[in-house]
Structure 1
Amino acid sequence: MSAHIVGNKESKLPSCAILLAAYNGDRWIEEQIDSILAQTGVKVKIFVSADLSNDTTLDIIHKKANVDSRITLLPYGEKFGGAGPNFYRLICDVEPQEFDMVAFSDQDDIWYETKLHTAWHHISERGFDIFSSDVLAFWEDGRQELIKKSYPQVEFDYFFEAAGPGCTYVLSSSVYKPLREFIVSDVRGCKQVELHDWLIYAFCRNQDYKWLIYDQPTMLYRQHEGNQVGTNNNLKAYYKRIKKIKNQWYRDEARKVVFAVTGEPLDYFLQNNSPYLNICKFRRRPRDRAAFLFAYVLGAFK
């Protein structure tokens, strides 16, 4: 079932459809939704896809939707098993016809009230097709840490990393439409890619769309034990990522991404673009380039 969206032509405000994926989020989802509804200078419409949950997430969404017509809950009852499949469902089901932008949202963050207005400024006035940004991570104990994603983009970074958290992504409708067609058609098994934000970044960059990674945070990025990805700035997170490299998860995901957006195997790409000579083209952050090359030397891509 597709949710056909009709924008309000009478309003001069830009309009944005927000795709929100939820799962067992009753501790945070109301605060997340409220921060979206409080956006300034933009008309918002939230579409929620709730993975089969065993807490009160569904009740909270129903309560919010019953008093605010800007919230729509998509048909409930399916088990997606991860954020990626849940977002792919949202993309397939939500078909914006007259909205200016489409944004993605997690269930547990807090958006700055100017987040979408800032994105629209860069899309409408500076000529960018997609906007994402740095984030300010925060923990329940009050700690905060800037997570910088806005290192300069390089030629092939999108084959090996996302632009940042998908919850910062805002796409112009002219980009969302071909992206949606790509995912609905499941071109070359693209929906097998576990991380939707990585796939979206790869698709858009490979199509030469102009992507801005804004060098300021536009949201508070909540950190807790249930984060599927989260930050990578502590020893526990580093260990988790090293484990993913050792068990070939990272290699396998890169293979899926490269094949989905180019139709060519990752091995062919690496043969023609040796990491030893081109490592500066593979990752944005210098520290990540060193880690990539180290993993490559140890055979992580064989």
Structure 2
Amino acid sequence: MHSLDQTPRVLVLLAAFNGMAFLPAQITSVLDQQAVAVQVVISIDRSCDGTEAWAEQLAQQNPRVSVLQRGQVFGGAAPNFFRLLRDVDMTRCDYVALADQDDLWHTDKLARACQQLRFTGAAGYSGNVTAFWPGGKERLIDKAQPQQPWDFLFEGPGPGCTFVLAQPLALALQTWVRQQGQALQPVDFHDWLIYAWVRAQGYQWLIDAQPHLRYRQHAHNQLGANAGLRPLLHRAWQMGNGWWLGQASLIARLLQLHEHPFVAPWLQGQRGGLLQLAMRAGQCRRRQRDQLLFFLSCLWMVIFLPGRGRLPCALA
């Protein structure tokens, strides 16, 4: 780990796919980070808009940028990030950060994260973001409520594009990702799984209330900001159709928590287990509003969908 008088070395892992509309501006905001030494590694899901050629040309022109061998089809951000975590050499940095292709970073984003990790002793960092839309609308996405004992199984700590990991944690995570192999393929959200793994291993995670990233919203966001009626209805539908249960159950099993007394009763979506989960909603979500919704959703499952393996898990 770097000393106070050394510039932190940050390795940025960026996953891209058909990113030419926004990627150049995002890369510029990453390379313009102040008070840190940045190296960027890009993994590109096979694209058709010139992303691969553009990134390779940038890497030839800028020694701080490199591109992993192209040609693979990942089909989503999660397997692309798992590829980065598995294959990139992380031994020559102090911190590892994740980056999407379409955001805009404040120039102090990484310096702030490194400072917070160093002075709090936390191993993992995420932060609030300012979501913005093409028409000029902006909204704070606040994920910085107090962490709860089991929130990591049901929600993430903010967008993965805010994640920064201390190097020892990143190396431990890399070892685990390599061990899992194809078992990670069904995971839809890498950031939710990373947070869950970090918390399950007993590491401290910090959620920063100060936003240092502009979180671009557009038609092709894989998840996007939970703002407005339409995203809320979409997530309500996911909570009721069994998708979230599948993800929470998968994460619990990957983390070897499936036999834990808290997890086992609800893992199969049985009525008694869901009722127990409803009564412990305060341990499963950070925001009080979300705790109430979680409680009500569990009760809905108990009444209308007993024994069908469905659970209202939380937003990633």
Please tell me the TM-score bracket, short chain as reference.
over 0.9
1:268 to 257, 264, 282: 264
Cα 1:269/1:176, change in 2 over 3 Å:
farther
Corresponding position of 1:114:
108
Corresponding position of 1:14:
8
Corresponding position of 2:270:
none
For the residues of structure 1 that align with 2:119 and 2:192, how far apart are their CA atoms? 26
Corresponding position of 1:72:
66
2:278/2:294 contact within 8 Å kept? no
2:171 to 171, 177, 182: 177
Q: How does 1:1-302 map to 2 (within 5 A)?
A: 12-186=6-180, 189-264=183-258, 268-270=264-266, 271=273, 274-299=276-301, 300-301=310-311
1:113 to partner: Cα distance: 0.6
SS of equivalent residue, structure 2 residue 199: helix
SS of equivalent residue, structure 2 residue 211: strand
Cα 1:156/1:119, change in 2 over 3 Å:
same
SS of equivalent residue, structure 2 residue 212: strand
Q: Which moved further from structure 2: 73-82 or 284-293?
A: 284-293
SS of equivalent residue, structure 2 residue 209: strand
1:296 to partner: Cα distance: 1.3
Letter aligned with residue 159 of structure 2: P
**Ranges in structure 2 where 5+ consecutive residues have no aligned partner:** 267-272, 302-309
For the residues of structure 1 that align with 2:101 and 2:48, how far apart are their CA atoms? 15
- TM-score normalised by the chain length of structure 2: 0.88
Task: Name the count of aligned residue pairs.
Answer: 295
1:77 to partner: Cα distance: 0.6
Q: Which has the higher strand share?
A: 1
For the residues of structure 1 that align with 2:280 and 2:311, how far apart are their CA atoms? 15
- TM-score normalised by the chain length of structure 1: 0.92
For the residues of structure 2 that align with 1:208 and 1:72, how far apart are their CA atoms? 33
**Ranges in structure 1 where 5+ consecutive residues have no aligned partner:** 1-6
Percentage of pairs with the same residue: 35
SS of equivalent residue, structure 1 residue 96: coil
For the residues of structure 1 that align with 2:144 and 2:83, how far apart are their CA atoms? 28
SS of equivalent residue, structure 2 residue 82: helix
1:188/1:259 contact within 8 Å kept? no
Letter aligned with residue 264 of structure 2: Y
Runs of 4+ off more than 6 Å? none
Letter aligned with residue 289 of structure 2: R
Q: RMSD in angstroms over aligned alpha carbons?
A: 2.2
Cα 1:216/1:56, change in 2 over 3 Å:
same
For the residues of structure 1 that align with 2:131 and 2:56, how far apart are their CA atoms? 29
Q: Which moved further from structure 2: 63-72 or 217-226?
A: 63-72
For the residues of structure 1 that align with 2:104 and 2:50, how far apart are their CA atoms? 20
Letter aligned with residue 268 of structure 1: A
Letter aligned with residue 40 of structure 1: Q
For the residues of structure 1 that align with 2:275 and 2:212, how far apart are their CA atoms? 35
Letter aligned with residue 283 of structure 1: R
Corresponding position of 1:3:
none
1:229 to partner: Cα distance: 0.6
Cα 1:241/1:195, change in 2 over 3 Å:
same
Letter aligned with residue 286 of structure 2: R
1:191 to partner: Cα distance: 4.2
For the residues of structure 1 that align with 2:97 and 2:2, how far apart are their CA atoms? 18
1:88/1:196 contact within 8 Å kept? yes
Q: Encode CA deviations 1:37-66: one digit per residue, 9 max, x unaligned.
A: 000111111010010111121232123212
